[in-house]
Amino acid sequence: MIHPSYTELIQAVNSEVEADDTPVCNSRYSIVLATSKRARQIIAGADPLVYYPLNKPLSIAVEEVYKGEVKILPDTGEEEQTEAAVSAADETVTEE
């Protein structure tokens, strides 16, 4: 059996959410995306945030999510991301 389970991971991620708020993560897919993204960061050279006896990046990423060291942020809309990128690009151009 894999520990922690998807259910335990989802509960850990949503533990800080108020009762009347929408959960940050409500599907296995979201957990898989978050942990795989963090594992890729560790492979690329990011320092692990927790000690884990196994040196496998995915195992470390799962443990980080489970212990709350890595936060999953709700996805912003594509339109908002585009607007943020455009405004950041404008600031970069005007600063030069």
**9, 23 contact by CB (below 8 A):** no
Please determine, for residue 60, whether its predicted confidence score (pLDDT) is greater than 80. yes
The pLDDT-based confidence of 91 (bands split at 50, 70, 90) is low
Q: Which of 22, 25, 21 is nearest to 68 (CA)?
A: 25
Please indicate, yes or no, if residue 59 is contained in any of the structural domains.
yes
What pTM did the predictor assign?
A: 0.65
67: helix, strand or coil: coil
CATH of residue 67's domain is: 3.90.940
Please indicate, yes or no, if residue 39 is contained in any of the structural domains.
yes
Q: Which of 23, 65, 75, 25 is nearest to 41 (CA)?
A: 65
Q: What is the distance between the alpha carbons of residues 10 and 62, in angstroms, rounded to a whole number?
A: 11
Over the stretch 25-52, which tens digit does the pLDDT of each residue have?
A: 777 888 888 889 989 999 998 888 888 7
Domain that holds residue 19: 6-95
Please indicate, yes or no, if residue 90 is contained in any of the structural domains.
yes
